[in-house]
Amino acid sequence: TDPQSASRDYAVEQGRTNPFLHLSMHLTIAEQVSIDQPPGIRQAFELLRSKLGEHEAHHTIMECLGEMLWTAQRSGLPPDGAAYVDCVQRRATRR
């Protein structure tokens, strides 16, 4: 691996994905599913996994996780776990 990669700027506007953030989100989702926190995330994940496979289910959930974190950051409010699970459930049932 490139030792400079940790200090790079991974600007979304330039179409770059931060590999460290990406891996962290995979690990976060795996942990959330394993302990079902927020409540309902495991069931929503299982539905997605049955349709898309585990890796693609993670990527779909990442979109909702990123949206929840962005909304919390912009609003100054705590992350809304229920809205996050609702987002994942909506995506699981529309595919």
Q: 94 falls in which pLDDT band (50, 70, 90)? A: confident
**pLDDT for the residue numbered 15:** 59
Instruction: Evaluate whether residue 76 is within a structural domain.
Output: yes
Residue 11 located in a structural domain: no
Average pLDDT of the chain, as a whole number? 88
Residue 13 lies in a domain: no
Q: What is the pLDDT of residue 81?
A: 96
For residue 17, what pLDDT is reported?
A: 76
77 lies in which domain range?
Answer: 18-94
| Whether residue 32 has pLDDT greater than 70 | yes
Q: Higher-confidence residue: 47 or 10?
A: 47
What's the confidence (pLDDT) of residue 8? Answer: 63
Domain membership of residue 49 (yes or no) is yes
In a domain, 7, yes or no: no
- Residues with Cβ within 8 Å of residue 88, at least 6 apart in sequence: 41, 44, 45, 48, 60, 61, 64
**Is residue 72 in some structural domain?**
yes
Q: Is 34 part of any domain? A: yes
